[in-house]
């Protein structure tokens, strides 16, 4: 194995530990999204893992299937946008840095 291969492996290992740090920081964050006039609510952690999904009983009938589906999509989009804002703030404040992958090409 040449030295360039070894340095690539080291870069990869560093990236993995940076990515793990980012995941650890984000796992402590939560974001909330809602849809269908607040009748569908979702809570995600900062890694976009869904922690809870709640659908109001008043929506639960086959007639409301489309409204429920749209509500879930709205709620997920809202929570995802919130997570992106949290990430941007953390990067701007220097609390978190994105791994530099430019050297891996």
Q: Locate the domains of the chain by residue range.
A: 23-91
Average pLDDT over residues 3-23: 85
Please tell me the predicted confidence (pLDDT) of residue 14: 85
**pLDDT tens digits, residue range 47-86?**
999 999 999 999 999 999 999 999 999 999 999 999 999 9
Phi, psi of 38 (to 5 degrees): 65, 20
- Give me 68's structure tokens: 């429920």
Selected residue with higher pLDDT from 44 and 98:
44
CA distance linking residue 35 with residue 3, whole number of Å: 53
3-state secondary structure of 84: helix
Place of tokens 């030295």: 3
Query: Strand (E) positions, 1-105?
Result: 30-35, 40-45, 50-55
Superfamily of domain 23-91: Nucleoid-associated protein YbaB-like domain (3.30.1310.10)
Q: Model pTM?
A: 0.79
**pLDDT tens digits, residue range 27-40?**
999 999 999 999 99
pLDDT at 43 over 60: yes
Please tell me the predicted confidence (pLDDT) of residue 19: 84
């Amino acid at each position: 194995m040449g030295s360039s291969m070894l340095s690539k492996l080291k870069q990869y290992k560093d990236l993995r530990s940076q990515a793990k740090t980012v995941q650890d920081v984000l796992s402590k964050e939560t974001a909330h999204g809602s849809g269908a006039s607040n009748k569908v609510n979702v809570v995600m952690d900062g890694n976009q893992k869904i922690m809870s999904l709640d659908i109001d009983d008043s929506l639960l009938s086959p007639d409301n299937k489309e409204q429920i589906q749209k509500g879930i999509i709205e709620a997920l989009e809202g929570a995802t946008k919130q997570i992106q804002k949290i990430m941007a703030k953390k990067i701007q404040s220097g609390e978190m840095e994105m791994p530099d992958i430019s050297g891996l090409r």
